């Protein structure tokens, strides 16, 4: 979720605190979801209960200061709580709220699968509707479970999808890698929607293999990366170790900037399901 300089597939763009990558629209997306692989479901949450399944997820609470990362590393405004994540009507709903009279004016939720769901390679799929409005920053992403190559971003970060609420016509898929901050780098792609928006349900997914990661929206590919590094280690490091999933809605920060008079609260990320697959090597290709 952190980044200042981007190198995008198919074009080179250097930017400050904003993404401006290669444009992929509904008319020129790169290819369809691969149909030559059979997948086996190995982990999922359909959010069919009445509470968050804490055998699968844990909460990250607070403003990051307890982790020596005040503002979660991005000057974000929110305090993460348990109460802002609810399971209702077959969905997970993460509420982003603003209470001007409260000690913590902005609240939201952030949940992760660390030590309850950790994977190396596979297909990761989330169906979700994302919030809109100035200062809203939603993310479905993955972080290393073991930090085998060192602190961020030497051990990597995979952003399955990020969205800025004031730019509801686009989503971003990004890798972070290289070396420890501030010697890190990142690369990714941007998908521009033609006749829909982030506030509608879309299926966001990646296929992560040895030496290659592909990004999809609604089963149509918009990004691929096959070149990255972490200092002092051989390719495909750092994306050759276990990672876990994170879902959150941030408020404010260096990238989206802060909410303003146009921002309405509450806002929600609504998640229909989260699914993780591995290739079924016993079954023939479709």
Closest C-alpha among 146, 150, 174, 176 to residue 160:
174
Asked if 223 contacts 188 with a C-beta cutoff of 8 angstroms, the reply is yes
Query: In the annotation, is 162 catalytic?
Result: yes
Residues paired with 163 in a beta bridge: 138
Asked if 155 contacts 97 with a C-beta cutoff of 8 angstroms, the reply is no
- Choice among 76, 103, 125, 157 that is catalytic: 157
Closest C-alpha among 68, 105, 77, 111 to residue 256:
77
What dihedral angle (degrees, nearest 10) is formed by the CA atoms of 156, 160, 166, 167?
110
Asked if 186 contacts 174 with a C-beta cutoff of 8 angstroms, the reply is yes
Query: In the annotation, is 183 catalytic?
Result: no
The β-bridge relationship of strands 58-59 and 79-80 is: unpaired
- Choice among 162, 200, 214, 257 that is catalytic: 162
Asked if 15 contacts 256 with a C-beta cutoff of 8 angstroms, the reply is no
Cα–Cα distance measured from residue 14 to residue 38, given in angstroms and rounded to the nearest whole number: 38
Asked if 109 contacts 237 with a C-beta cutoff of 8 angstroms, the reply is no
The DSSP code for 67 is G
- Residue 154 tokens, joined: 């030497």
Phi, psi of 65 (to 5 degrees): -65, -35
**Three-state SS at 65:** helix
Helix (H) or strand (E) holding 207: strand 202-209
Active site positions, annotated = 157, 162
């Amino acid at each position: 979720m952190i980044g200042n300089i981007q190198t995008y597939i198919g074009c080179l763009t250097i930017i400050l605190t904003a993404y401006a990558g290669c444009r992929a629209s509904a008319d020129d997306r790169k290819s369809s979801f691969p149909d030559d692989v059979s997948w086996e479901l190995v982990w999922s949450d359909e959010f069919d209960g009445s509470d968050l399944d804490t055998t699968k997820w844990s909460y990250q609470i607070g403003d990051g200061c307890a982790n020596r990362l005040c503002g979660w590393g991005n000057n974000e405004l929110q305090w993460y709580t348990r109460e802002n994540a609810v399971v209702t009507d077959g969905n997970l709903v993460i509420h982003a709220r603003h209470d001007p009279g409260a000690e913590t004016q902005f609240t939201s939720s952030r949940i992760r699968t660390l030590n309850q769901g950790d994977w190396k390679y596979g297909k990761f799929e989330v169906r979700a509707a994302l919030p809109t409005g100035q200062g809203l920053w939603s993310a479905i992403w993955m972080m290393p479970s073991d930090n085998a190559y060192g602190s961020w971003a030497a051990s990597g970060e995979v952003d399955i999808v990020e969205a800025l609420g004031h730019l509801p016509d686009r989503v971003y898929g990004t890798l972070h890698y290289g070396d420890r901050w501030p010697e890190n780098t990142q690369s990714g792609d941007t998908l521009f929607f033609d006749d829909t928006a982030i506030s509608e349900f879309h299926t966001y997914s990646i296929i992560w293999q040895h030496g290659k990661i592909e990004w999809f929206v609604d089963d149509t590919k918009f990004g691929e990366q096959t070149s990255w590094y972490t200092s002092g280690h051989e390719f495909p490091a750092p994306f050759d170790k276990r990672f876990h999933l994170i879902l959150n809605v941030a408020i404010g920060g260096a990238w989206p900037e802060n909410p303003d008079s146009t921002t309405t609260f509450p806002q929600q990320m609504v998640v229909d399901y989260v699914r993780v697959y591995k290739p079924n090597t016993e079954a023939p290709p479709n």
